[in-house]
Amino acid sequence: MLIYLPIAEVSVNAFLLLGLGGLVGILSGMFGVGGGFLMTPLLFFIGIPPAVAVATEANQIVASSFSGVLAHFKRKTVDLKMGGVLLVGGLVGAALGVQLFNALRAIGQVDLLVKLSYVVFLGIIGALMFVESLNAIRKSRKAGGPPPRRHHRGWIHALPFKTRFRTSGLYLSVIPPLVVGVAVGVLAAIMGVGGGFIMVPAMIYILGMPTKVVVGTSLFQIIFVTAFTTLLHATTNFTVDMVLAVLLLIGGVIGAQIGARIGVYLKAEQLRILLAIMVLGVCFKLAFDLLVQPSELFSLGVASGH
Amino acid sequence: MAMLIVPLGATGQEESIVAGLSQNTVSITANFNGSEILIFGAVQRSAPAPEEPLGVIVTIEGPDQALTVRRLDRNYGIWMNVEAVEVDAAPTFYAVATTAPFDEIITSTEDLRYRISIPRAIRAVGTGSDRPGDFTDAVIRIRTDAGLYQVLESTVNLRSETLFDTSIALPANLVEGDYLARIFLTRGREVVTSFETEIEVAKVGLERLIFNLAHERPLIYGLLSLFIAIVAGWSASAVFRYILSN
């Protein structure tokens, strides 16, 4: 069934959008990532103009994250305090990121920088997670029991303003989560996504949060960042397509519920290794596109500055 | 059905066009999947037809749009944008249908004068490249692949040098605006008379409503989009909880 999108001004198959939304929604509920880093390239591929794809995707992530976070709230796997601290950092970072993005756009080559930052960050994060979770699985097989909790003794624990994050079971300074929030916010704004795929590994490896709590807390934080982004796009660029968003989010919210329940049956290491494989897959695809000669060497864009 | 009689510059001409379109408005609704426009007409004569064979060219042109065309090239082993050229105005849609191969019924001078063929319809390719032709070709190639530019040679039916008709398919990814339909009669590869009329392409109903809201009340539109997202997220969660608790 073809449907005409009023803002994107293209006709697309409604069932295809429902399916894509559902698939990305499952991943979102399972891993606590918004799914923007997967969905946005997929939307480009089916012919949605990039500006509309990025803005509408933010709106859809609000829906699937909200759906997912409710499931996590019920299981009490959301650390509201940690989420709040990360969010404060995230919003500051997003504001900085938008400034940086506009500065890069003025120089030109913003597309390339976005793609390169995707490749670099996805590559590093994916590889680190893959190796770490593989080791964890191997260790747990050998020991036959659960792996020992990671303990970060060192400079992070020497920082002031220590506070207790009860749900995560951490006694930690607020400075590391704030810094992580700002860094992820900057990257998220430049790359046009919620930033879950950077936030999740950062929470696990830098802050040392338990994997089960990370997913819900990341989703909680993403809701606010993407809601802010949606409003920004809607009021400045008029690029949020409501019809496209509704089609994507119907699939997305259902998928997120299924994903959140699948996640319960997986071990933390398995969850991490799957996320690592997915992140590496997207990284290789983007790197491949940069390195291999494309079939069409020219691209059209609506002219700016007229 | 709309019939229009607008012979242009008919003074002293022996032939003129009487033509019509199957529709003068195209409404873009939620399930819009393209539209087929039938163009038909007759040649009116005040004198017997000349010896030379008659050619008919029909064009439909969408609203113009300024474009930035970028070229990728390999630098440091990576494919990146290296050159950008501004095109002042390229039609968002352009179809040209003829009774015979293009070169047989019109000279390039006449083509240039009336801007009939696709390369002529693209205006003022900006400088900034030593090979601007490559950029124009790229616009035509990309838009032809997308079905937005169509060259339909020998698809206009002409009967007894008088009656003609053709149909042009408008694709689903149309841009709103006034589309211009033109008909040219040629003899000896020269244009003898022409005719033009407009086709109005506009979103209607829900599509119109959403588009207007997004542009006129962006904050309300944005908040409404978020509200829909939250409600959808909450109801999916509620439905699943209900299903699983039973």
**Complex-level ipTM:** 0.76
Which whole number is the average pLDDT over B85-96? 87
Give me the pLDDT at residue B61, please: 92
- Residue A109's pLDDT band, with cuts at 50, 70 and 90, is low
Going from the C-alpha of A183 to that of each of A88, A179, B235, the distances in angstroms are 12, 6, 33
Give me the pLDDT at residue B12, please: 47
Model pLDDT for residues A269-303, shown as the tens digit of each residue: 787 788 888 888 888 888 888 888 777 778 777 66
Chain B residues lying within 8 Å of A290, measured CB to CB: 78-80
Chain B residues lying within 8 Å of A303, measured CB to CB: 65-68, 86-87
CB B100 within 8 A of CB B154: yes
Model pLDDT for residues B152-185, shown as the tens digit of each residue: 988 899 988 889 999 999 888 888 889 999 999 9
Q: How many helices (H) and strands (E) in chain B?
A: 6, 14
> In the predicted model, is pLDDT for residue B2 greater than 70?
no
Give me the pLDDT at residue B165, please: 92
Which whole number is the average pLDDT over A169-187? 82
What the block records as the tokens of B40 is 């038909």
Residues with Cβ within 8 Å of A19's Cβ and at least 6 positions away in sequence, in order, are A251
Model pLDDT for residues A247-257, shown as the tens digit of each residue: 888 888 888 88
The residue of chain B with its CA nearest to that of A226 is B226
Give me the pLDDT at residue A75, please: 81
The residue of chain A with its CA nearest to that of B223 is A231
Chain B residues lying within 8 Å of A112, measured CB to CB: 78, 80-81
Give me the pLDDT at residue B39, please: 92
Chain B residues lying within 8 Å of A70, measured CB to CB: 233-234, 237
Chain B residues lying within 8 Å of A234, measured CB to CB: 214, 218-219, 221-222, 225
What the block records as the tokens of B124 is 């003022």
Model pLDDT for residues A10-54, shown as the tens digit of each residue: 888 889 989 988 888 888 778 767 677 778 778 877 878 777 887
Q: Looking at this protein, which amino acid is placed at residue A75?
A: R
Of B110, B117, B120, B116, the closest CA to residue B190 belongs to: B110
- Residue A192's pLDDT band, with cuts at 50, 70 and 90, is low
Assess A298–B contact: CB distance below 8 Å, yes or no.
Answer: yes
Cα–Cα distance measured from residue A252 to residue B38, given in angstroms and rounded to the nearest whole number: 42
Give me the pLDDT at residue B136, please: 84
Report the residue from A66, A291, A300 with minimal CB separation from B67.
Answer: A300
The residue of chain B with its CA nearest to that of A56 is B225
Going from the C-alpha of B99 to that of each of B55, B118, B159, B163, the distances in angstroms are 6, 17, 11, 12
Report the residue from B218, B223, B237 with minimal CB separation from A67.
Answer: B237
Domain formed by B2-203, architecture:
Sandwich (2.60)
> Is B230's CB within 8 Å of A234's CB?
no
Higher pLDDT, B132 or B149: B149
Strand bridging mode B149-152 / B94-98: parallel
C-alpha distance from A151 to closest chain B C-alpha (Å)? 35
Give me the pLDDT at residue B126, please: 63
Assess A242–B contact: CB distance below 8 Å, yes or no.
Answer: yes
